[in-house]
Structure 1
Amino acid sequence: MLQAALRAGTAGRRSVFEVFTRRLPNGRRYGVVAGTGRVLDAVENFRFDADVLGFLREKGIVDDRTLDWLAGYRFSGDIWGYPEGEVYFPGSPIMRVEGSFAECVLLETVILSILNHDSAIAAAASRMSSAAGDRPLIEMGARRTHELSAVAAARAAYVGGFTSTSDLAAGFRYDIPTVGTSAHAFTLLHDTERDAFRAQVDTLGSGTTLLVDTYDVTEAVRTAVEIAGPELGAVRIDSGDLLLVAHRVRQQLDELGATGTKIIVTSDLDEYAIASLAAAPVDAYGVGTQLVTGSGHPTASMVYKLVARAESDDPGAPLVPVAKKSTGGKTSVGGRKWAARRLDEHGVAEAEVVGTGEVPDELAGRQLLVRLAEDGEVIVREPLDAVRDRHARARAGLPLSATQLSRGEPVIPTEYVHGGSGS
């Protein structure tokens, strides 16, 4: 596309691309914007170095004129978007990229790959954190996903409400709190379970977390308290009927005087399993596989579409809306869009309003898109805790049915307001 546009003389036309999704994953009530910070970093550093240009030349993928253009590539346009952590709905213009066609079209894959992955993980994390209530959630999915996506998954989970991660690389890169426990291998290494517990407590202190389901849980809990004393920090249960075992372990710990010892449960948890343990004496959950695979929805199905472009090659030419009109359920709405969330008399969201042209006065103060990059320079850098707090506020501003785990439609409708060219 780039090579052909350069040859046709249309590569420099001012263009507007938007990221949106036509529908939420089946049964989901809202989506979560995550990965925005990573997108901005990626765009800022998007380059074609000598090795990449050599590959393109050697394989004959593009011509010399295109190679020369790529060698000097720097994004110089503007990016607008929903603030990271915000919720979204079908049709929400989650991100808007403006600049020449050539510089914007090259960013499609990198933007979508980040937003689709991170938003899917954050949405699953949000549902899990809602189900968990005040109980903390530990991200433990690094061994269940691609090694390069594990750190991004931990970041997205934190945005969605998880409190910590077992991935030290995520702690190093994003300053996410890190925690962890021993594995069954550590217990099996030693001649007895008692020896394993003794080694761990001697090294890490009585506040450590001991894994108690390698052999017999009842015996393990007794041994753990004998060695660590009633100050034992926590025990982890990783198998069996978690509801039943947690009740039995809590009773045993209390009888042994370890009333302050916490119970952490793991073992293929998802939001439904977490909700089913609401009445159990559980203090924290560790979640891996279901989290990093989006709890059944590993992508947010976002697309990156041209919605407006200059009517001519003149730098001052006005924008005209463009949109795909073919059948098959993949039509889109043309025009450079704004978005606002209308609230009811109680301050609760009642509609996602998306439009072109002028913003109605009653929605002017409720606009969702903010400028993220201007003339190629990133102007928004946020601490991850601020993003996480924003998501908590955004979710709290939705109708109560947003957090129901039963299948349903988006919790608020998307309404379209058309008018003007959006130039």
Structure 2
Amino acid sequence: MNTAELGLPVDVPSTALFTDHYELTMLQAALQAGTADRRSVFEVFTRRLPEGRRYGVVAGTGRVLDAVENFRFDADVLGFLRERRIVDEATLEWLASYRFGGDVWGYPEGEVYFPGSPILRVEGSFAECVLLETVILSILNHDSAIAAAASRMASAAGDRPLIEMGARRTHELAAVAASRAAYVGGFATTSDLAAGFRYGIPTVGTSAHAFTLLHDRERDAFQAQVDSLGRNTTLLVDTYDVTEAVRAAVEVAGPELGAVRIDSGDLLLVAHRVRQQLDALGAERTRIIVTSDLDEYAIASLAAAPVDAYGVGTQLVTGSGHPTCSMVYKLVARAESADPKAPLVPVAKKSSGGKTSIGGRKWAARRLDRDGVAEAEVIGTGPVPGELADRQLLVELVKGGQVVAREPLDVVRDRHAVARANLPLSATQLSRGEAVIPTEYIQLDS
């Protein structure tokens, strides 16, 4: 859910300068050459998944739609381009009236993807499409990386909820996007209020070690927090001695204490000891929340521990070692002239070094086995085989420049849970391996 959907005021800035210099110089040259108006098809895909990952997660689509809508060259932006002499006056005049008027198709947000999956297809004139390359890639590469890490962590956590708490570990704007992507991937809440304000994500938080250190005694800090927030609050018990802190926490809040948080030490060992102590003190319903530089591997290692929830920061907002998805935005088809009726011809990069691309406007479908489990990502050009007609993945997102597919974030989050559940069981393995299903190419143009 975006800010507009929440009915909240927002001053949306132009996204036109979230781009690279050469996008505009290409535009200028194409305008002069008379090729800028050729109908073109660009596709976003990745040639490979990050090492060891079994699937990718499409995230950031909703933010891409916002960025396309707000891609406008206002007076300040045009003034900057003129002052720096980045493009000539004829190009500035063209940019002044720029509005994307093409079509966008893509995998619905929350869906999984694999090498070669055409997760976004942008169609229109070369001029209007090429300008969107950088902003689209910057959003999808970041958000999909975070969502993939979140999805792996959610798989490892099982039914135990995850709290996103990485705002202090990344850029302030990236933190909001990361929180949104984490929610798509399966996290339940965030500590970031800006994410709650902008996207409606549930927010949580109680206190840090500084609050305990502020008071003369740990017990005084606990009492102040309980007096303010109620007995169902979460008390942080590892500032000094954990055993003493748990005893004081239950004495102050009683057996109605909501939770205790552990942020250091051997979490597996400490969690078992704290659970035993809580039960002995009559606080059987008091939950245990653990934090402290967790990633999917640490979460998996705590599966047998008496832990009720996990808080994750640094590893999540940095993609758990893979902060980008290496997605690219490639021209795959274009018309031979500016005539709207001119047929599209496939084009592709053919250089060596593993950076080739496949030409042609593509469709994608996921073939299922008899049990309804995914067994292949099928990509092709031309007619879609009848048996795959109802398994196509791309949906219309923008038609004639108008967004037609906005969705509440909870719908996206639920879609991902279903998509992940329909993958083979090996998708949830944390051991290194190849994509969980193969990508098959058929009927492809050369």
- TM-score bracket, normalised by the shorter chain, equals over 0.9
Q: Which residue of 1 aligns with 2:44?
A: 19
- The answer for the alignment partner of 1:83 in structure 2 is 108
Structure 1 position 345, deviation (Å): 1.0
Q: Indicate whether 1:189 and 2:204 are aligned.
A: no
Q: Is 2:394 aligned against 1:369?
A: yes
- Between the two proteins, what is the percent identity of the paired residues? 87
Distance 1:254 1:346 in 2: 44
Kindly indicate whether the alpha-carbon contact (under 8 Å) linking 1:358 and 1:420 is maintained by their aligned counterparts in 2: no
- The CA RMSD over aligned residues, in Å, is 0.7
Q: How far did residue 181 of structure 1 move?
A: 2.6
Deviation by residue 1:53-99 (Cα, 9 ceiling, x = unmatched): 11111111100000001111100000000000000000000000000
1:232 maps to 257
Structure 1 partner of 2:122: 97
Which residue of the partner structure matches residue 218 of structure 1? 243
Q: Is the 8 A contact 1:16 1:98 kept in 2?
A: yes
Q: What is the rounded CA distance, in whole Å, between the counterparts of 1:103 and 1:304 in structure 2? A: 14
Question: Secondary structure, in 3 states, of the residue corresponding to 1:148?
Answer: helix
Equivalent residues of 1:30, 1:410 under 8 A apart: yes
Q: 1:391 is paired with a residue of what secondary structure?
A: helix
Aligned pairs for 1:231-270 (under 5 A) are 231-270=256-295
Tell me the residue number matched to 2:157.
132
**SS across alignment from 1:149:** helix
Map 1:260-409 to 2 at 5 A: 260-409=285-434
1:154 is matched with 179
The equivalent position to 2:57 in structure 1, one of 32, 36, 45, is 32
Q: CA deviation at 1:418?
A: 1.8
Aligned to 1:205: 230
- Distance between the aligned counterparts of 1:347 and 1:218, measured in 2? 50
Using structure 2 for the length normalisation, give the TM-score. Answer: 0.94
Which deviations, in whole Å up to 9, do the C-alpha atoms of 1:28-70 show, x marking residues without a partner?
0000000000000110111111111111111111000000011
Q: Which runs of 5+ in 1 are unaligned?
A: none
| Cα shift readout 1:324-365 (whole Å, capped 9, x = no counterpart) | 001010000000000000011111100000000110111111
What is the letter of the counterpart of residue 103 of structure 1? E
Superposed CA offset, 1:243-262 (max 9, x none): 00000000000000000000
Q: Partner letter of residue 43 of structure 2?
A: E
Deviates more, 1:60-69 or 1:176-185: 176-185
SS of match in other structure, 1:415: strand
Aligned to 2:70, which of 42, 45, 48?
Answer: 45
CA distance in 1, matches of 2:73, 2:171: 25
| Amino acid in structure 1 at the alignment position of 2:339 | D
How far the C-alpha of 1:419 sits from its partner, in A, is 4.8
AA aligned opposite 1:82: Y
Residue in structure 1 matched with residue 92 of structure 2 by the alignment: 67
Amino acid across the alignment from 2:368:
L
Question: What is the CA distance between 1:313 and its match in structure 2?
Answer: 1.9
Instruction: State the SS of the aligned residue for 1:229.
Output: helix
List runs of 5+ in structure 2 lacking aligned partners. 1-25
Corresponding position of 1:55? 80
The CA deviation string for residues 218-252 of structure 1, in whole angstroms up to 9 with x for no partner, is 00000000000000000000000000000000000
Does the Cα contact within 8 Å between 1:358 and 1:419 map onto a contact in 2?
A: no
Q: Relative to 1, partners in 2 of residues 1:385 and 1:315: Cα closer, same or farther, differing over 3 Å?
A: same
Deviations 1:181-230 (A, max 9, x none): 31000000111101111110000010000000000000000000000000
Q: 4+ runs of 1 displaced by more than 3 Å?
A: none
Output the TM-score relative to the length of structure 1.
Answer: 0.99
123-132 vs 50-59, greater mean Cα deviation: 50-59
Q: Could you tell me whether the CA contact under 8 Å between 1:320 and 1:335 is conserved in 2?
A: yes
- Mapped contact 2:27–2:36 kept (Cα < 8 A): yes
SS in 2 for 1:298: coil
